[in-house]
Each structure stands twice: as structure tokens, then as C-alpha cells.
Amino acid sequence: MGKIKSASELSKLRQKILSKRDPKKPCITICSGTGCHAYASEKVSNAFQEELKKQKLEKAVDIKRTGCHGFCEKGPIVVIYPKEICYLQVKPEDVTDIVSQTIKEGKIVGRLLYTDPHTNEKIVHESEIPFYKHQKRLIFGNNRKIDPKNIEDYIALGGYKALAKVLFELTPKQVLEEVKKASLRGRGGGGFPAGRKWETTRNANGEPKYVIVNCDEGDPGAYMDRSLMEGNPHSILEGFIIGAYAIGSHEGFIYVRQEYPLAVENTEIAIHQAEEYGLLGEDIIGSGFGFNVKIHRGAGAFVSGESSALVSAIEGKVGEPKPKYIHTAVKGLWGKPTCLNNVETWANVPFIIDNGAEWFKSLGTSNSKGTKIFSLVGKVNNTGLVEVPMGMSLREIIYDIGGGIPNGKKLKAVQTGGPSGGVIPKSLIDTPVDFDELAKLDSMMGSGGMIVMDTDTCMVDIARYFVKFLSEESCGKCVPCREGLRHMLRLLNNITSGKGNAGDIERLEELSEFTRDASLCALGTTAPNPVLSTLKYFRNEYEAHINEKRCPASVCRELIAYYIDPEKCQACGICTKNCPTGAISGKKGIVHVIDQKKCIKCGACIDVCPERFGAIEKISGESIPLVPKSMKVKSIR
């Protein structure tokens, strides 16, 4: 393929690609994102290839390996077009049935369909599965239709049309004004208006100007940027080139963490292909505008995602933050104006150019426009990546998309915003999710982490978990963050292990304030959020741990005990066999008893005790009832 030299050549190429594709021809798409890959989707793809060959169908049916569909827990996901028949958790052994029945005879393989857990209804089409039905998949939706290693798939869907439009129809200033008018806010954490940042870099003194894609994504459990980068790298590239044009930059860096090998691979291929097609490099689409992109692999430290730390890392220095007397937008890479935006922020840009700022502004709330991708995880039936319009309530996300809380348990809280975010209690789940509403609740949007917690979650332990993460990830350069977090962690460790003292809550509050006010970068200034928000909404749990040496959710090991209810024990012996320390005594017909001195509280006994007996209980803050030696089992059930 030669280089595209004009907007009309790009449009002709799109027509040519589409004319070669028969929309009625069956196409088996197999998700090959990292999640499905871990479930051996590669073997499923190979099995399809062999089976089609065996059944002499390789010419009649296409196969496509796509990016992540978002519903990773149900992977590997296979969707067959044009009917959009969706099969979940497909194994290589299922492939013969799919080809023989669905492809050849048009029949549905019922066992591979999604079954609604509430109605038992089987759902054939991907878009009708409740997990997808309530989403607005603007940025993420094309992942399932595209082979990320094939630029023509992206072009066929209208890809690079927005780029051609800006290069030939708009001045850089007009592009900037359109993005400003759209009120696009950064998706990487702070929600800073993208257009304003672009303008600052554009107007700053100094050449060359640089642009950066931030795909560090260090939040535990978050993987939206990775999935977009793996599944639709051209959408990010296109937004990135448009941004560079508006800002007046000719050199950009994509910063991806080393632990994302597939994202790196697919982005490298995308850059190479875009260059080959004349969509990147010198004289893009014959417009005279040139822009080159390099990938920088990050070493995988959470703090290196912070803008000044990331800039240092690209410069070849240690990836730790610097004081921001002057912002990176004015003085960034090698002291030059540098505009850094998150993956999802850049990916929004082609949509704004294609559809206009007014259209974009019609999505979302008054101050948060467009959609947001969340990583919905924790105690929720449907986990995965969800994209919703800003303003959708937490309730709708958790219940309509997430399918509610598993095992008949009740919702307790939701943690949003990653490790530096906050916990929102159940009583506030009708809150519309946008930048400002979450901030009002002392949480934040962050990059889109959303962890659902049921009533078995200890809020002090949650705060301890995040503070431990942040304390380990603090670069240690500034004392308030390094020492403040260390002391907070020490106090939280004491409280959760039953060694908390009166005054610890006040000390935590004081340390939080000090760390928030005096730290060098936003890692430290936001790090107290998990403590402050749990204290705000669940202070009684802290008090129970300290004053009563009790963990109300029965989670903190040092504060709980396992106890076998003699009324319920059937002396089946399963717990005895599974106890790793031999702490359980009991014979046939005799009630089993746990020796508390030997018990290491691993919970193996409660996990194996048959549900119909439910004889083992976790207790906290109560004395363990004495069971007479050799007590006989009451009744055999």
C-alpha cells in the first residue's frame, strides 16, 4: 500500500475496503484481549481455523481476532456476525458445534449463551446482554469490531476521517476551539479541561513542543487504558495526531508500562501501519503537516504516571515527581512545552471532530461531558469494563450493568477513583457519577476504578490496604508523603490487629491533614482519601476495632475466631481433613471443636463446611462458647 496523498484518496480507500467486504458473509470474531488470552482464546482461534478448513468453509467464513469486549470474566468471548450471536466462555472443544450448528445450519448452541441469573432467560445477541444493554459504548464499542493489527478495519469504520477533516478543513486554532467548546475533561484523574491544557502548550514559548499519551495505568484493578490501547490503538493515534496539529507539535511519545506487552505490540504495529499509509510521519495525507511518534516503555511504578515523573522517565531519569512551580504544559520534556493527556482523553478527540462539540456536549452532565469507561470489580455479579454516559447513577452501574451483589449479600459501599479515591456508602448510591459529584462526596473519578463492596467488607481494612499500596508506591522523595503514609499505615495495622489505642483516630486525622497539605505531588495530597472517607462514613467501625477489639465485618484476622456450632455440626469430618494445622478435633458422631491456640484463622474450615450444615461461624468481640468434650451430634441431617 502506497502513502495516502489526499482526503479523497483516504475516502476512496475506505470505499475500496468496504466494497471488498460482504456484510452478509459470516465473520467469527474471537476476543484476543489480555483477559480472554489468559483463558486461552488463542487456542479457540486456532481451533476455528482448523475446523473451518476441515469443513471446507475457510473461504466462506471470515475469522477476526479482536480487542477486549469488556466482559472479561466471561471470556473467551466469540461473536458471530452479521447476526451478532454471542457465545461466552468458549473452549476449543465447543468449536465443532459452533461451526456445524451455527455457521452451517443457523442454529444456536444454547449452552454457550449468556443466561440471565434472575430470569434464567438465554440471550443470543451481545448487545442485549444486560451488562452491555445499559452501556453507551462510544470509545470502547469498536474494540469488538476491529482487528487491532489491521489498520484497514479501523479505516473501514470511518477511521482517520476526522484527521483528514482537521488537516484540510480546519486551522489548528479552530480544532482547539472545537475541543474547548466540547468541554472535554481529562480522563486520567484530575478532570482538567483538555482544550485549556492544549492552548497553554500551544501558546507557551519554546520549540519544539511535545505531546504525550499517558498509558501508565498503575491503579490496582484498572485496565481500561490497556484494553483501549490493545484493542483500538488507531483511535488513540488519530486523536493524538489531531491534538499535535492543534498544539503545533511534531513529536510525540506514547508512555506504556512494560507490563502491557500486547498494548505495546499492537501500538507498535499501529504506528508502523499508519506511517506506511501516510497517516503518520512527514507530510500526513499530503497536507504538509508532519508528526512522529515513539513508544516509551515505563518500568511500572504507580508514581511514574504522575505528569512530572513521567516526563522525567522519558528523559531517561528516575521517574519521580518534581515540584510544579511551572506546569509541564509550559515546561515539560527537556524544558519544552509538553501536553500530556490520558489514553481515553485522546481517544475522545476524533468523535468530537467527527460529530461536533454540540453533539459531544449533549452527552453527560452540566460540567462533565461525554462518557467514561470504568473498571467495575469487586463484589458484583458482572465484573469488567463498562462505558457509561457521565451522570449515570452508581445504582444503575452496580445493579443494571453489574447485575447486583452476588450470593444474596447486600451492598455496603463503592470505592471510586483508584487507591487515592474514596469510599461511598450505600446510602449515597443514587449519586450521579461525574467529576464534581464524586468530589463532593470526598471521592473522585480518578481514572475510573470502581470497586463494589458487600457487607462482608471491613472498611478499616480497606483503608489499610490502600494506604499500604500508596506507602509502598510513594517515591520517598518528600517527607510528608513518605513518613506520613508510613505512620498512617502503622496506626492502621495496629487498629486492624487489635492493638489500637484511644486517640488513634485523631492521630490518623492529623496525619491525613498534614500529608494532604504538605506533600510534593498528588500521590501524597490525595493519599489520605481512603482514610478520610472511611472515617467520614464508617467511623463506628474504627471505634469498634479500637474500643471493643471487634471487627464488625469479621474480617480482621487478629480480631476474629472460628467456632463450630454444636447444634449444627454433623461430624462429617470435612473440616478436620482440610484444616492445615490439625486444630479441629472430633470423631464420627461427636461434635467437632476448634482448638483456638492452634487455629491460624485461614478460613479453610468455613470454606469446606457443606452449605446445608453451615456449622462454622466467624465471631468477633464475643467470647467463644464452651462445647462439652465428646458432645454427641444432635441430629443427622
Ligand X SMILES: Cc1cc2nc3c(=O)[nH]c(=O)nc-3n(C[C@H](O)[C@H](O)[C@H](O)COP(=O)(O)O)c2cc1C
CB of 595 to ligand X, least distance (A): 46
Q: Does 214 bind ligand X (CB under 6 A)?
A: yes
Q: Does 36 bind ligand FES (CB under 6 A)?
A: yes
Residue 72 contact among ligand FES, ligand X, none, beta carbon within 5 to 8 Å by kind: ligand FES
Amino acid (one-letter) located at 232 = N
Q: Does 226 bind ligand FES (CB under 6 A)?
A: no
For residue 599 the three cell numbers come to 487455629
Q: Are strands 78-81 and 62-66 parallel, antiparallel or unpaired?
A: unpaired
Beta strands in 284-410 (DSSP E): 292-298, 338-342, 371-378, 384-389
Question: Judged by CB under 6 A, which of 4, 10, 31, 194 binds ligand FES?
Answer: 31
* Ranges of H-type helices in 127-260: 130-133, 151-156, 161-169, 172-181, 194-203, 224-231, 233-247
Q: Does 88 bind ligand FES (CB under 6 A)?
A: no
Q: Which stretch binds ligand X (CB under 6 A): 173-181, 184-192, 259-267, 493-501?
A: 184-192
Residue 387 contact among ligand X, ligand FES, none, beta carbon within 5 to 8 Å by kind: none
- Dihedral of the CA atoms 254, 256, 261, 267 (nearest 10)? -20
- CB of 505 closer than 8 Å to CB of 492: no
Dist. CA 492–CA 411, nearest whole Å: 24
- What is the 8-class DSSP label of residue 398? I
Between the alpha carbon of residue 295 and those of residues 146, 237, 388, the distances in Å are 22, 12, 29
* Ranges of H-type helices in 277-386: 307-314, 343-355, 357-361
Residue 302 contact among ligand FES, ligand X, none, beta carbon within 5 to 8 Å by kind: ligand X
Question: Judged by CB under 6 A, which of 72, 204, 551, 616 binds ligand FES?
Answer: 72
Question: Judged by CB under 6 A, which of 26, 33, 364, 552 binds ligand FES?
Answer: 33
- Closer to ligand X at the Cβ: 188 or 421? 188
Q: Does 411 bind ligand FES (CB under 6 A)?
A: no
Question: Judged by CB under 6 A, which of 35, 92, 417, 448 binds ligand FES?
Answer: 35
Dist. CA 89–CA 72, nearest whole Å: 9
Dist. CA 151–CA 120, nearest whole Å: 40
Q: Which stretch binds ligand X (CB under 6 A): 98-106, 111-119, 297-305, 589-597?
A: 297-305
Q: Does 141 bind ligand FES (CB under 6 A)?
A: no
Residue 69 contact among ligand FES, ligand X, none, beta carbon within 5 to 8 Å by kind: ligand FES
CA angle 459, 464, 466 (to 5 degrees): 100
Residues 357 to 396: which contact ligand X by CB under 6 A?
none
Q: Does 71 bind ligand FES (CB under 6 A)?
A: yes
Q: Which residue do the cell numbers 480522563 mark?
A: 187
Contacts of residue 287, Cβ cutoff 8 Å, sequence gap at least 6: 167, 168
| Total of chain residues touching ligand X, rule CB under 6 A | 23
Binding characters for ligand X, 416-455, by CB under 6 A (x = yes) = -------------------------------x--------
Residue 218 contact among ligand X, ligand FES, none, beta carbon within 5 to 8 Å by kind: ligand X
Q: Which stretch binds ligand X (CB under 6 A): 44-52, 127-135, 340-348, 562-570?
A: 340-348
| Total of chain residues touching ligand FES, rule CB under 6 A | 12
Dist. CA 576–CA 593, nearest whole Å: 9
Site for ligand FES, rule CB under 6 A: 31, 33-36, 68-72, 75, 77
Residues at the interface with ligand X (CB under 6 A):
186-190, 192, 214, 216-218, 302-303, 305-307, 340-342, 345, 447, 521-523
